[in-house]
Amino acid sequence: MMLIDCPHCGPRAQEEFTYERTRDSVVPLDAAPAAAMATLYARANPRGEEDEIWRHTLGCRGWLELRRHRMTHAIVAVRPLGPAVLP
């Protein structure tokens, strides 16, 4: 279990949050087909740290960016996300 420090609500239990996608998988609206496919389908999927988009679904419903280690589950950084980068 992880304790996620929501920038709006403070530290809350992981079960309140939903994983959405990786930070680098948001397809720009003007992306060319090849770039759009790569962004949509290809993942680094590292056994290490990755930037991820999560949502505080059962809390403030705000969108967050987490930098999280996928082996240790250590959360390196949390920051709020604005509409500009949302899918």
44 lies in the site for another protein, by CB under 8 A = yes
Total Cβ atoms within 10 A of residue 53: 21
Count residues contacting another protein (CB under 8 A)?
A: 26
User: Cα(9)–Cα(47) distance, rounded to whole angstroms?
Assistant: 29
Residue range at the interface with another protein (CB under 8 A); choices 40-48, 57-65, 76-84: 40-48
Q: Of the candidates 8, 46, 61, 85, which one interacts with another protein according to CB under 8 A?
A: 46
Q: Of the candidates 9, 37, 58, 77, which one interacts with another protein according to CB under 8 A?
A: 37
Closest separation in Å from C-beta 37 to another protein: 5
User: Cα(79)–Cα(66) distance, rounded to whole angstroms?
Assistant: 7
Q: Phi, psi at residue 36, to the nearest 5°?
A: -65, -45
Residue 2's Cβ-side half-sphere holds a number of Cα atoms within 13 Å equal to 21
Residues that bind another protein (CB under 8 A): 1, 14-15, 18-22, 34, 37-38, 40-47, 50, 52, 54, 70-73
